[in-house]
Structure 1
Amino acid sequence: MSSSSSSSSQASSANSGLLYRGVSLAGAEFGEGSLPGTYNTHYVYPNQGEVDYFLGKKMNVARLPFRWERLQPNLNTAFDSTELGRLDTFVVAATAKGMNVVLDPHNYARWYGNLVGSSGLPNSAFADFWSRLAARYKSNPRVIFALMNEPHDMSTETWLSAANAAIAAIRAAGASNLILVPGNAWTGAHSWSQNWYGTANASVMLGVVDSGNNYAYEVHQYLDGDSSGTSASCNSTTIGSERLANFTSWLKTNNRKGFLGEFAGGNNATCQAAIGNMLSHLESNKDVWIGWTWWAAGPWWGSYMFTLEPSGSTDAPQMSWLAPYLP
């Protein structure tokens, strides 16, 4: 379907649906310049009122960004009990209500500035982190493990090795949960087959090894001029499907699955049409796409141009754009 399709036909397509449709609930990853930082000063966890609100909007997944350094202040050691308690409180309450939760270490393949796969952060430490997290949540099928937010400025081969180490650790811990695997270069869908950042994700990331065979590739895609998500503008009404097309084709050719972990648009008519065009593309290709999470909502966004956080009893404008694609 194109962005000009009627809302009724869009809703009909959506209702036959993708598995996961929801939002990133940000806040626990805030204050990256203050690590570990002070809770409720530098960062905050989303609350259950937000979970209830988005469940009421028929969303069924919340992506939860957090910082690895806060959960595990020292490599290869037990998690900080206070921070784990915050994470647990959110996950347990949200999943008990039927919300799926994507655990998202929002670290860009780094820990206190050390790059994963380097001497300061060997793959074994990344595997240890995921082994502990997997052991904690392996009995909860509503928990989804997103390996890492937006790896970048590294070789794609180095990232693949780290990802495979983490996946192996998750499975060795006895967890069968869905795993979301990003690519290099901020895991942009539009650049999946490009090589300006090194060997293309389209080549290297075919090397993902999962003994549980329960994973999907997480990509992010914004619709402004440079795909950075730093502008409220969108290039055109059809830019959504255009920027996803190559990655969708790659998924089909290689019999893989995809998840759109971040996307958004500013409050204007072009972006509204572009978001509809993008989500219609996902629905039309649900043989390879399993879901999406909008960027973002959360208690501290204020007037952020993409926030889905309601203002009192008033929905954010973009919430109505997503409604036709919710069951």
Structure 2
Amino acid sequence: MEGAPDTLPGHLNGEVFVTPVSHFAYYASVGMDHVRLEASWERMQPRINGELGEQLLDHYADANNPLRNTVALVKYYLDTAQKNNLRVILDLCHNYGERYVGYDGTWSKKSKAQLGSAQVPIAAFADYCAKIVKTFGSHPAVVGIELMNEPHDLAIGEGGWRTACQAAIDAIRKINTSITIVIDGYGWASAEFWPARNPTLHTLNDPSKKIIWSAHQYFDASSAGVYGGGSEKAPANANLGAQRIAPFVEWLSNHGFADRGHMGEFGAPDRDEWQPIVDNFLKAARAAGLRLTAHQDIAYPNDAYTMNLFPATNSAGVITGPDRRIVRLIKAK
């Protein structure tokens, strides 16, 4: 659901491309049981502390399409997921610790501000999380809310991220005591560097005891998932992925969260040379009891993105290609 985040509000079936129903059906058919639905804070709640869905998405030739309302679009995805027996993690703050501000009916004066600043106070973040849960949390497809994707390099630091998480937890639990709360680690949610970058995150208090800790990990030289645009060669160390997630697994065990871990993003180029690394990563993750969400589905047909999970299709949208290698490995486990 998320694309070109600097273009606001974005066009329906442009920057915000509606994922075809066939994608949901495909992932269910290969044995996946959930999806992670991404959207930006700005598109869901343009005005700080405002209402959800206040601004409609732009359009090309379909002004009356109800999915221009982002609340309606999320509900459409939830209904579609439910029909295909998929659960949904709401990642509706895919913002990395910052967002655009300055909406006054248009975005002509927009500027970016960090979480914890005067423009984006922690209380506003808690307000947004609570409104997301109030609006979508009771939908039967929803399995949890992810508070924020990959917070990093904030002026308020890891301690401020912990404070923001606690404020969001407190606000959510006033209206919903049962929804699972998914929390990314500070510092890009890196599994490899999780203990060093998150010295206080384990002290968060959820009275419902339903926190899931979500780490991300890639296997390229930078750990950023760039893979040289898909051209990077796989390293010789086939255990690299398993080794990179070991610090996160140890952190979970040390703090009594061994059954509460999640790999919220992982992926690799669709080439044979990467398969041993992915295979050993999957073995290690499953041995540690981690939940797994591969990255990522691309709604645009036959997109060349190096970690695209969806197979090739013809002009009618019918699948013509084989499963991607990473999907085959996931199915085999």
Matched with 1:69 is 42
Distance 1:47 1:171, change over 3 A: farther
Matched with 2:175 is 173
- Counterparts of 1:224 and 1:142, CA distance in 2: 33
- Counterparts of 2:48 and 2:331, CA distance in 1: 42
- Counterparts of 2:326 and 2:217, CA distance in 1: 17
- 1:182 pairs with one of 166, 178, 184: 184
SS of equivalent to 1:129: helix
SS of equivalent to 2:312: coil
- Counterparts of 1:175 and 1:100, CA distance in 2: 19
- Counterparts of 1:183 and 1:141, CA distance in 2: 27
Contact 1:180 1:216 in 2 (8 A): yes
Q: Which amino acid aligns with 1:249?
A: E
Matched with 2:25 is 52
Matched with 2:145 is 145
- 2:82 pairs with one of 80, 95, 101: 95
Identity %: 28
Please report the TM-score for the alignment, with normalisation by the length of structure 1.
0.85
Contact 1:139 1:175 in 2 (8 A): no
- CA deviations on 1:41-64 (whole Å, 9 max, x unpaired) are 222232321111100001001011
Matched with 1:267 is 270
- Counterparts of 2:38 and 2:130, CA distance in 1: 18
Map of 1:203-282 to 2, 5 A cutoff?
Answer: 203-231=199-227, 232=230, 233-235=233-235, 236-256=237-257, 257-282=260-285
Matched with 2:297 is 297
- Counterparts of 1:62 and 1:47, CA distance in 2: 14
Q: Which amino acid aligns with 1:130?
A: C
Contact 1:135 1:175 in 2 (8 A): no
Q: After TM superposition, give the deviation of residue 111 of structure 1 in Å.
A: 1.6
What stretches of structure 2 of length at least 5 have no aligned partner?
55-68, 101-111, 314-318
- Counterparts of 1:292 and 1:167, CA distance in 2: 23
Contact 1:68 1:111 in 2 (8 A): yes
- 1:109 pairs with one of 82, 86, 97: 97
Given the alignment of the two structures, is residue 135 of structure 1 paired with residue 126 of structure 2, yes or no?
Answer: no
Contact 1:68 1:107 in 2 (8 A): yes
SS of equivalent to 1:169: helix
- Counterparts of 1:264 and 1:248, CA distance in 2: 18
Please report the TM-score for the alignment, with normalisation by the length of structure 2.
0.83
Q: After TM superposition, give the deviation of residue 141 of structure 1 in Å.
A: 4.9
SS of equivalent to 1:193: helix
- Counterparts of 2:284 and 2:49, CA distance in 1: 42
- Counterparts of 1:38 and 1:63, CA distance in 2: 21
SS of equivalent to 2:263: strand
Matched with 1:21 is none
SS of equivalent to 1:266: coil
Contact 1:103 1:145 in 2 (8 A): yes
- Counterparts of 1:185 and 1:45, CA distance in 2: 30
Matched with 1:86 is 73
Give the length in aligned residue pairs.
289
- Counterparts of 1:109 and 1:234, CA distance in 2: 31
Given the alignment of the two structures, is residue 322 of structure 1 paired with residue 330 of structure 2, yes or no?
Answer: yes
Q: After TM superposition, give the deviation of residue 125 of structure 1 in Å.
A: 0.6
Tell me how large the CA RMSD over aligned residues is. Answer: 1.5
